[in-house]
C-alpha cells in the first residue's frame, strides 16, 4: 500500500462511490501512484475517452450494419472508461498527497466536456435525435451547475438523482450495448427508423435531468430556509 504524502487541501465535495472502497480499485490506484501518473492527467483522459465515444457515435449512422455494432460497443466501453477516469483521479490525488485547489478545476471541467461530447454525439448517432442530444447535454450542464451553486451556498453532497452523472452514463452505456448486441429487428434496435435506442436513452436522460434539477433546487432552498430560522 502506498503511503500518501501530506496534503493540506481538502476536496470541496466528493461523490460517494462504493467502488472506491473495493480492493481492486485500491490496487489500481496504488499502481497509478507507484508509476507517478498525475491525477490531473487522469482527469484529462476522461475527455479523450469521451472524444473516442463521440467519434464512434458519429460513425454509426453512415456505416450501419455490423460495423455500427462494433462502434456502439466501443462507445459503451468509452463511457465506462470515462467514469473510471473520474474515479481514479480523485483516488490518486488523495492517495499521493497531490490534492490541490487547482485539482478541483481538473476534476470538474473535464466532466462537463465529457458529458457534452457523449450526449451530443448520441444525438447524431444511428437512431439518435440531434435535438434530444443537445437538450440532454444542456440539462446535464445545468444539473452540474446546481451542485456547484449549492456548494457555493454551503449546501454539500448535492449528488442526488435520479439522473446524476453515473446514471447518465449508465443509461447511455445500456443503449449502446443494446444496439451492439440486440437483433436488428428488435424494438429500438439497428433496424428502427427514426426513434431508436439512442433517442430513447436521451429522452430518459432529459426527463431524469429535469427531475434531478427540481430535487436539487428544492434541497438548496430547504437548506437556506432552515438557516434563516
pLDDT of residue 97: 87
Q: Which pTM does this prediction carry?
A: 0.91
pLDDT of residue 24: 92
Domains delineated in the chain = 18-228 (1.20.120.1760)
Cell numbers describing residue 14: 466528493
Q: What letter would DSSP give residue 21?
A: G
Residue 156 pLDDT grade (very low, low, confident, very high; cuts 50, 70, 90): confident
**pLDDT tens digit sequence for 101-117:** 887 898 899 999 999 99
Whether the CB-CB separation of 195 and 127 falls below 8 Å is answered with: yes
Where are the extended beta strands (E) located within 47-106? none
- Is the preceding omega at residue 162 within 30 degrees of 0, hence cis? yes
pLDDT of residue 12: 55
Tell the burial category of 203 from Cβ atoms under 10 Å away from its Cβ (0-12, 13-18, 19+).
middle
pLDDT of residue 215: 97
Q: What letter would DSSP give residue 59?
A: H
Beta-carbon contacts of 161 under 8 Å, excluding residues fewer than 6 positions away, are 167, 208, 212, 215
* pLDDT above 90 as % of the chain: 78
Residue 124 has pLDDT above 50, yes or no: yes
In 3D, which of 46, 69, 62, 19 has the Cα closest to residue 169?
Answer: 46
Residue 163 has pLDDT above 90, yes or no: yes
* pLDDT above 70 as % of the chain: 93
Residue 10 has pLDDT above 60, yes or no: no
Cell numbers describing residue 183: 437483433
CA–CA separation, 51 and 192 (whole Å): 26
Q: What letter would DSSP give residue 154?
A: T
pLDDT of residue 11: 54
| Range with lowest mean pLDDT among 15-24, 52-61, 85-94, 109-118 | 15-24
CA–CA separation, 195 and 186 (whole Å): 13
13-27 average pLDDT score: 80
Residue 21 has pLDDT above 90, yes or no: no
pLDDT of residue 177: 98
CA–CA separation, 161 and 140 (whole Å): 11
Residue 83 has pLDDT above 80, yes or no: yes
Cell numbers describing residue 142: 445545468
Amino acid at each position: 500500500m502506498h503511503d500518501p504524502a501530506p496534503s493540506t487541501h481538502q476536496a470541496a465535495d466528493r461523490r460517494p462511490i462504493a467502488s472506491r472502497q473495493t480492493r481492486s480499485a485500491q490496487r489500481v490506484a496504488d499502481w497509478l501512484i507507484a508509476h507517478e501518473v498525475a491525477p490531473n492527467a487522469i482527469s484529462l483522459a476522461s475527455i479523450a475517452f469521451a472524444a473516442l465515444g463521440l467519434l464512434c457515435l458519429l460513425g454509426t449512422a453512415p456505416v450501419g450494419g455490423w460495423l455500427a455494432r462494433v462502434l456502439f460497443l466501443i462507445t459503451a466501453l468509452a463511457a465506462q472508461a470515462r467514469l473510471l477516469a473520474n474515479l481514479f483521479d480523485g483516488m490518486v490525488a488523495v492517495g499521493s498527497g497531490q490534492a490541490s485547489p487547482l485539482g478541483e478545476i481538473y476534476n470538474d471541467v473535464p466532466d462537463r466536456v465529457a458529458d457534452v461530447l457523449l450526449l451530443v454525439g448520441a444525438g447524431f448517432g444511428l437512431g439518435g435525435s440531434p435535438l434530444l442530444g443537445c437538450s440532454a447535454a444542456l440539462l446535464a450542464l445545468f444539473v452540474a451547475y446546481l451542485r456547484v451553486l449549492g456548494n457555493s451556498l454551503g449546501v454539500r453532497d448535492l449528488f442526488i438523482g435520479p439522473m446524476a452523472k453515473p446514471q447518465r452514463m449508465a443509461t447511455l452505456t445500456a443503449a449502446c450495448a443494446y444496439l451492439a448486441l440486440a437483433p436488428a429487428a428488435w424494438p429500438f434496435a439497428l433496424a428502427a427508423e427514426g426513434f431508436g435506442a439512442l433517442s430513447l436513452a436521451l429522452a430518459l436522460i432529459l426527463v431524469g435531468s429535469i427531475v434531478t434539477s427540481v430535487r436539487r433546487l428544492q434541497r438548496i432552498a430547504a437548506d437556506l430556509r432552515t438557516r434563516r430560522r
